[in-house]
Amino acid sequence: MKPLIKVTGVPRSSLADWGEFAFIEALKKRLPPLSGGLRLGPGDDASWWLPDDAGGILTTADMLVAGVHFDLHYTTAASLGYKALAVNLSDLAAMGGKSGATAYLSLALPPTLEKRWLESFLDGFLGLAGTQRVQLAGGDTVRGRELVIAVTLNGQPAGCSPICRQGAMVGDDLYLSGWLGDSYLGLKLLQGRLAETAGREREAAYLRERHLCPQPRVSLGEKLGASGVVSAMLDVSDGLVADLGHLLVAAGGLGAQLEAERLPLSPAAGFFLHSGLVDYPRLLSGGEDYELLFTAPPAQRQAVAAASAAAGTAVTRIGRITAAAGVVFCHQGLKTALSGFGGYDHFRA
Amino acid sequence: MKPLIKVTGVPRSSLADWGEFAFIEALKKRLPPLSGGLRLGPGDDASWWLPDDAGGILTTADMLVAGVHFDLHYTTAASLGYKALAVNLSDLAAMGGKSGATAYLSLALPPTLEKRWLESFLDGFLGLAGTQRVQLAGGDTVRGRELVIAVTLNGQPAGCSPICRQGAMVGDDLYLSGWLGDSYLGLKLLQGRLAETAGREREAAYLRERHLCPQPRVSLGEKLGASGVVSAMLDVSDGLVADLGHLLVAAGGLGAQLEAERLPLSPAAGFFLHSGLVDYPRLLSGGEDYELLFTAPPAQRQAVAAASAAAGTAVTRIGRITAAAGVVFCHQGLKTALSGFGGYDHFRA
């Protein structure tokens, strides 16, 4: 669409000096040759992709806004480009998607944005795309007062159908990939709300990195999708208990029992927990882990372990699904009913 | 993604009072039952769509920003919802896409936005979706300081392959659907930069409507796509000459001759032209017509006419493709070389 107003008075070396078409040309020059059924990439009215016949199309869309989803004071351009793609890849992984997706990147950009910043943003986005067999196939670039990033991914299920968030059954095991709470701790360190401990700089650096550059569990999602043994799955973005709540509601109102001793904590998170600098409720409600939370019947423990080994991603059995609604947290012999961990509402105060 | 900051002090009856989850629930309640191969709609980590085996997937993405692409002083919520989908449908039509697409709507919304406004926006979006066999299958709703709308559409080609913007040949006829310049005139009337003429209120109302609610040429695009006779096509969003330039560059640097007497003007635009209130250069460079501009060999005139008749959309032969680069405008026996009609650059002053 043709915009209504024009911009004046912006510095050189900025996007305004570069221009929209030069930016798009520079972007297109960085793309590898089309492959994997993508017949037409950016530059026409639409892309054209010939997916495998079987399985259908999985599509996920996410929008990130400066000052809401990220703070440009401590988020580098490269980590933001990486994360904009990573959070969408995490959604595809959570459906049991297979590797080989097409991405659509729409950007609202302030004209004062530095060229260098944009190049670093693309470094992050295209770097992750390259390692995860994602092709940037289209999008839009427009002017905005604030930075807004909208990414859509088209992918395909690894199995004959995707893994939905509904489908958990009473007695199913409950699993979590990777590590719990690293991203929450990293965010608090970045915000200065949690102080670094002398001698623990390496742990702090690890946690900040886990917040800024979460690892989407693409390979694990693919192996679990192909295994056919997972009854329900989603990725943990709102916090473990909030997302577990979504899974339990989707299952028709079931419950779950979580074992504190089983929760997978990284050495860094373990240090903060055992030092009393953070408690379980915060780790259980902190967002943006981008780990996979899923259920499977106890008879399938070997198949889950095989998928974990094939993907090279740790998977921990953290509890089980119960008939009684609600989440019960078992810690040192005590059982606590968890509540008040509802997902963040974007608009409510 | 979980946002970092919270909002306080917003009025009742606004989005902040309604809440994100209530908004999404209200949206989901308005959606018709899944159909046409869509197996999983909004609410999971991704949608799941089983397209027809043949033809592959066409994907287009557009982003609209308040104050850049539309002015909320004269754009109603319903017309904006309509237009956000219409401009994407126009892109699919320009590829020769067939009816039956899935849509992904991502919105950055100021929390102070009225519920009523959002409901009207959905009226416009879902109203057009209903008439054009589009299913809203996913998206994202986040908070932003300014209103940003990102839409992605997945569709399929009507023929065995889509119609690209490259492919025009020397000697091809050049065609335009519908009417030229209505949207430009409507915008100028809305902006108060063009005065209404006494006794011509009906024409002015028609032109404003053509700007606010452009008619995507979905059926014509489908018939042309299925016909297999079109050599190149795109939709006119940047202005006729700018978009013709894109088509000629994509053809490897060909030219075109335009016949002024053949340009299709609505009675309302004809009145403004013949009254001297607007001239040809403005009609040729005004944006947002969302008409289809396409080429076909002269031997295929009957097939083009048949597609036009089947779609119920007027198509006019407005010129032809030439070996000499550049666009020549023929008017009353005079030939003028057109230049300086390059597309609008979002970032340059």
In this predicted model, what pLDDT tens digit does every residue of B42-81 receive, in sequence order?
Answer: 999 999 999 988 899 999 999 999 988 899 898 999 999 9
Chain A residues with CB under 8 Å of B70 CB are 4
Q: Are residues B102 and B210 in the same domain?
A: no
Is A164 a domain residue?
Answer: no
pLDDT above 80: residue B343: no
User: CB B37 to CB A56 under 8 A?
Assistant: yes
Residue A189 sits in the same domain as residue A78: no
Helix (H) or strand (E) holding A125: helix A115-131
Q: Are residues B191 and B333 in the same domain?
A: yes
Are residues A228 and A146 located together in one domain of the fold? Answer: no
ipTM computed for the complex: 0.93
**A71 in the same domain as A198:** no
Distance from CA of B96 to the nearest CA of A (A): 10
pLDDT digits (tens, 9 = 90+) for A35-45: 989 999 999 99
User: How many contacts, defined by CB atoms under 8 Å, are there between A and B?
Assistant: 296
Q: Which of A237, A78, A197 is nearest to B140 (CA)?
A: A237
At residue A7 the predicted structure's pLDDT band, cuts being 50, 70 and 90, is very low
Q: What percent of chain A has pLDDT over 90?
A: 81
Q: Residues 61 to 120 of A: which have CB under 8 A from any B CB?
A: 61-65, 67-71, 87, 91-92, 94-95, 97, 102, 104, 106-109, 111
Is residue B180 very low, low, confident or very high in pLDDT (cuts 50, 70, 90)?
very high
What pLDDT, on the 0 to 100 scale, is given for residue A346? 63
Structure tokens at A343: 């997902």
pLDDT band at B20 (very low <50, low <70, confident <90, very high): confident
Asked if residue B346 is part of any domain, the answer here is no
Closest by CA position to A124, among listed A110, A112, A136, A142:
A136
pLDDT at A25 over 70: yes
Note whether B138 and B227 are same-domain residues: no
Query: Do A280 and A256 reside in the same domain of the chain?
Result: yes
Q: Compute the average pLDDT of residues A303-326.
A: 97
Residue of A nearest to B51 (CA): A56
Residue A343 lies in a domain: no
User: B232 and B263 in one domain?
Assistant: yes
What is the average per-residue pLDDT within A165-184? Answer: 97
Flag if B59 and A140 touch (Cβ within 8 Å): no
Cα–Cα distance measured from residue A195 to residue A109, given in angstroms and rounded to the nearest whole number = 34
Please tell me the predicted confidence (pLDDT) of residue B172: 98
What's the pLDDT band for B7 if we cut at 50, 70, 90? very low
Question: CATH number, domain at B327?
Answer: 3.90.650.10
The mean pLDDT of B223-247, rounded to a whole number, is 96
Work out the minimum CA distance from A10 to partner chain B, whole angstroms: 8
CA A107 to chain B, closest CA, distance in angstroms equals 8
Report the greatest alpha carbon distance in chain A: 67
CB burial string A127-145: b at 16+ within 10 A, e below: ebbeebebbbbbbbbbbbb
Is residue B100 scored above 50 in pLDDT? yes
Q: Which residue in the set B3, B137, B348 is minimally distant from A68, CB to CB?
A: B3
Of A3, A165, A347, the CB nearest to B44: A165
- Is the residue at A206 inside a domain? yes
> How high does pLDDT run on average in chain A?
92
Indicate whether A23 pLDDT > 80: yes
- CA of B53 vs chain A CAs: smallest distance (Å): 6
- Residue A5's pLDDT is 43
Give the number of domains in chain B: 2
Q: Is A344 on the interface with B (CB under 8 A)?
A: yes
Chain B residues touching residue A40 (CB < 8 angstroms): 162, 164
Confidence band, pLDDT 50/70/90 cuts, at residue B348: low
Instruction: Give the separation between CA A187 and CA A209, rounded to whole angstroms.
Output: 9
Q: Which of A97, A108, A111 sits opposite B63 (nearest CB)?
A: A108
Whether B249 has its CB under 8 Å from any CB of chain A: the answer is no
**Are B293 and B236 a contacting pair, CB within 8 Å?**
yes
Domain that holds residue B58: 15-157
User: Chain B, 189-248: which have a CB under 8 Å from a chain A CB?
Assistant: 191, 234-235, 237-239
Q: Could you tell me if B165 lies within 8 Å of chain A, comparing CB atoms? A: yes
Residue B236 has what pLDDT? 96
A334 within some domain: yes
> Are A48 and B60 inside 8 Å of each other by CB?
no
Which of B125, B157, B189 finishes a domain? B157
Whether the CB-CB separation of A311 and A230 falls below 8 Å is answered with no
* Overall average pLDDT of the B326-345 stretch: 80
Residues B115 and B36 in one domain: yes
pLDDT for A6 beyond 60? no
**Residue A106 is nearest to which of B3, B49, B63, comparing CB atoms?**
B63
Residue A15: what pLDDT? 85
Predicted local distance difference test score (pLDDT) of residue B12: 60
In this prediction, residue A121 carries a pLDDT of 96
* The pLDDT value given to residue A82: 97
A63 and B348 in contact by Cβ < 8 A? no
pLDDT at B22 over 50: yes
> What is d(CA A199, CA A202) in angstroms, rounded to the nearest whole number?
8
Asked whether residue B124 falls in the same domain as residue B217, the answer is no
Residue B175: closest CA among B230, B238, B95: B230
Does residue B6 surpass a pLDDT of 70? no
What lies within 8 Å, CB to CB, of B86 at 6+ separation is B128, B213, B214, B215, B216, B290
Last residue of one domain, picked from the residues B157, B189, B210? B157
Query: Could B45 and A5 be called an inter-chain contact, meaning their C-beta atoms sit closer than 8 Å?
Result: no
Q: How many CB atoms lie within 10 A of CB B328?
A: 16
Q: Residue A59: list chain B partners with CB under 8 A.
A: 46-47, 49, 102, 104, 137-138, 152, 154
Give the nearest partner residue to B50 out of A19, A56, A60, using CB atoms: A56
pLDDT surpasses 60 at B4: no
B288 touching A (Cβ < 8 Å): yes
Q: Tell me whether B287 touches chain A (CB under 8 Å).
A: yes
* Whether A150 and A178 share a structural domain: no
- % pLDDT > 90, chain B: 81
Q: Is A330 on the interface with B (CB under 8 A)?
A: no
Average pLDDT rounded to a whole number, residues A12-29: 83
Rg (CA), chain B: 21
Residue B191 lies in a domain: yes
pLDDT, tens digit, 9 for 90 and up, residues B28-45: 999 999 998 999 999 999
Mutate to test the interface with B, among A6, A27, A59, A163 (most CBs of B within 10 A): A59
**CA dist., res. B98 & res. B93, Å (int):** 7
Is it the case that residue B5 has pLDDT exceeding 50? Answer: no
Whole-number pLDDT of residue A12: 60
Q: What is the DSSP string of A227-271?
A: H---SEEEE-SS-HHHHHHHHHHHTTS-EEEEEGGGS---HHHHH
pLDDT surpasses 80 at B341? no
Q: Is residue A3 part of a domain?
A: no
Residues of B in contact with A181 (CB under 8 A): none
Q: Say what the pLDDT of residue A243 is.
A: 95
Residues B221 and B324 in one domain: yes
Is B1 contained in some domain? no
DSSP A77: H
Tell me which chain B residues have a C-beta less than 8 angstroms from the C-beta of A102. Answer: 59
Segment B184-189 mean pLDDT? 96
Looking at beta carbons, which pairs linking B32-36 to residues 24 or more positions away fall under 8 Å?
B32/B130, B32/B135, B34/B135, B35/B135, B36/B100, B36/B133, B36/B135
The residue out of B157, B185, B210 marking a domain boundary is: B157
What pLDDT score was predicted for residue B344?
A: 57
